[in-house]
A and B are shown apart, each in its own frame.
Chain A
Amino acid sequence: MKIDKSLKFVILYLLIVILFYQYNLKEAKGAEPVSDAESPYHVSIKNFPAFELPALKNESEKSYLGHTETGNFNIGQIKAKVLIIELFSFYCPHCQRAAPKVNELYQEMQKQDAIKEKIKIIGIGVGNSDYEVNSFKNTYQIPFPLFPDKSMGIFKLLQARSTPTFIGIKVNENGSLEQFYLREGGFDDIQKFLAEIIKLSGMESGDKNEQTKK
């Protein structure tokens, strides 16, 4: 198969254009922390701040998070190996669009016995009052606990930039917290999202180690 000179030139030109285009897109994405070649959402932040949340409102929330005491509590007290934190706002149309999908994620997590007790999810309403967080919960029938961050103190502490943002935290046995996931914006594929959380948290290898010990 012979390719004449002019065609070679055209191919070369197009390849350069494609490479240039791809390079520019990566540059434009900019500040997204990329520390894992396989996932743009992988981050590794040791000593994640163990911030406080307002008291849980009812027994089902207490039972889900495995925290029975009354009053404010620390996220490190949540009974889970992995905690997914959704930063949302009642006022943000993207969070409104994402809400049914996040509900589906919760339902899927509840269905899978292997992860049901290990991965938990909470939502934090950035700049929202308790009233607004409750309105959001009622509008979208959100089954997992939501907390207000009226003064945006948590949002600032986590140095977040927009909503919705999904943060993945590993709760280590010594009580320390480690962030391994950061996603700005919603997601379409629940299974893919969940698989990525499981993989990047190292839960799978942790389970294998536990089994070997036994």
Chain B
Amino acid sequence: MNKQKNKCRYLLYLSAFMIVTGITAAYGQPDKFIESIYPVGKLKPTDTVSKLKVGDPAPDFTLPAVAGGKISLGQYAGKHNVVISFVPAAWTPVCSDQWPGYNISRDLFEKYDAVLLGITVDNIPTLYSWIKQMSTPKEKIWFPVLSDFYPHGEVASRYGVLRSEGVSERALFVINKKGIIVYIDIHDINERPFLEDLAKALEEANKQ
């Protein structure tokens, strides 16, 4: 009986030792978020033909939001300017840091009375995990993230930014309170648009 007890004790000590060494070692590992980003390599800068131009009325749409419910572009008409940020795909480079930049720029959007809508062609569960990882403990993603997953990329297609491989362009549309498109940036998919360009467009939109 005593032997059995000793055996258990040794095993318990060993397990504790293993857990402690395991935890210490794992603590020093590189960040899991960076490791999870899929390396896409260099892509064709743009892969679509414009369907819309500045001055056109923005096509209305309704999409499911990660936070629940549905959001329509039309609900902001007459109330706020709108920025639509299409990014190609969750868990890819560039996209994974473009929105975190907007996440700490809430003041900029509010200054020009603008709401930001983030759209990708990913499904809700993927977007849920992705934006959870990019939020900071203090600042959760403050803007609605919408899924253009099914019918696949329908809104991206209507805005002329659905690429042949099924993801969207990295594109920014600024829509004024009258529902008119006042700024379009179909950006090189491999590069991030600079914030000052959007800031300037918002300033202009808010004057109208």
Contacts and interface: CB of A to CB of B under 8 A. Distances in A.
A129 B196 contact: yes
Interface in A26-83: 28-29, 40
Given A18-B21, A22-B25, A91-B100, A4 B33 contact: no
Contacts of B33: 93-94
A162 B139 CA distance: 22
Interface in B1-59: 3, 6-7, 10-11, 14, 17-18, 21-22, 25-26, 28-31, 33-34
Which of B17, B28, B29, B34 has the most chain A CB atoms inside 10 A of its CB?
A: B34
A191 B80 CA distance: 47
A21 B22 contact: yes
A93 B25 contact: no
Contacts of A139: 104-105
A157 interface: no
A132 B136 contact: no
Interface in B75-132: 97-98, 100-101, 103-105, 108
Contacts of A89: 97
A213 B6 CA distance: 62
Contacts of B21: 18, 21-22
B92 to A, nearest CB: 14
B10 A21 contact: no
Interface in B129-166: 133-137, 139
Given A11-B14, A14-B14, A185-B31, A96 B137 contact: no
Contact of A92 (B3, B22, B97, B195): B97
Contacts of A40: 28
Interface in A85-109: 89-94, 96-97
A130 B52 CA distance: 31
B67 interface: no
Which of A28, A93, A97 has the most chain B CB atoms inside 10 A of its CB?
A: A93
A1 B25 CA distance: 32
Given A4-B3, A91-B192, A185-B31, A96 B100 contact: yes
A114 interface: no
Interface residues of B, number: 37
Given A14-B18, A185-B30, A131 B97 contact: no
Given A18-B21, A132-B194, 14 more contacts: A10-B14, A17-B18, A18-B17, A25-B29, A29-B30, A40-B28, A90-B195, A93-B100, A93-B135, A96-B139, A131-B195, A135-B195, A185-B30, A185-B31
25 contacts: A1-B6, A4-B7, A7-B6, A7-B7, A10-B14, A11-B10, A18-B18, A18-B21, A22-B21, A29-B28, A29-B30, A40-B28, A89-B97, A90-B195, A91-B97, A92-B100, A93-B100, A94-B31, A96-B100, A96-B139, A127-B192, A131-B199, A132-B195, A132-B196, A185-B30
Interface of B: 3, 6-7, 10-11, 14, 17-18, 21-22, 25-26, 28-31, 33-34, 97-98, 100-101, 103-105, 108, 133-137, 139, 192, 194-196, 199
